Amino acid sequence: MSTAHRFLGFGFAAADLLLEIRDDGKVAFGLGAGEAVLGVSDTALADRPWKSLIHDDDHAMVEALFGGLGDTTRAPIGWVEFCADNAAQCQGGPTQPRDIVMSQAAWRDLVKVNRWVNETVKPLTDQEHWGVIERWSLPSDGYGDCEDYVLLKRKMLMDAGWPREALLITVVRDKKGEGHAVLTVKTDKGEFVLDNQNENVVAWTETGYRFVKRQSQGDPNVWVSLGDTKPAVSTASARD
Q: Any idea what DSSP says for residue 96?
A: -
Measure the CA–CA gap between 63 and 29, rounded to whole angstroms: 21
Burial of 7 per CB tally in 10 Å (0-12, 13-18, 19+): exposed
pLDDT (0 to 100) of residue 6: 54
The string of DSSP letters for 153-183 reads HHHHHHHTT--GGGEEEEEEE-TTS-EEEEE
Measure the CA–CA gap between 204 and 185, rounded to whole angstroms: 9
pLDDT (0 to 100) of residue 68: 44
Provide the residue-wise pLDDT of the chain in tens; the chain has 240 residues: 344 445 555 555 445 667 777 766 777 767 776 667 677 777 787 888 777 777 666 655 555 444 444 578 899 999 999 999 999 999 877 788 889 999 999 999 999 999 999 999 999 999 999 999 999 999 999 999 999 999 999 999 999 999 999 999 999 999 999 999 999 999 999 999 999 999 999 999 999 999 999 999 888 999 998 876 444 444 444 355
Q: Which domains does the chain have, with CATH numbers?
A: 3-66 (no CATH), 72-225 (3.10.620.30)
Residues listed for the chain: 240
Provide φ and ψ at 57, rounded to 5°: -70, -20
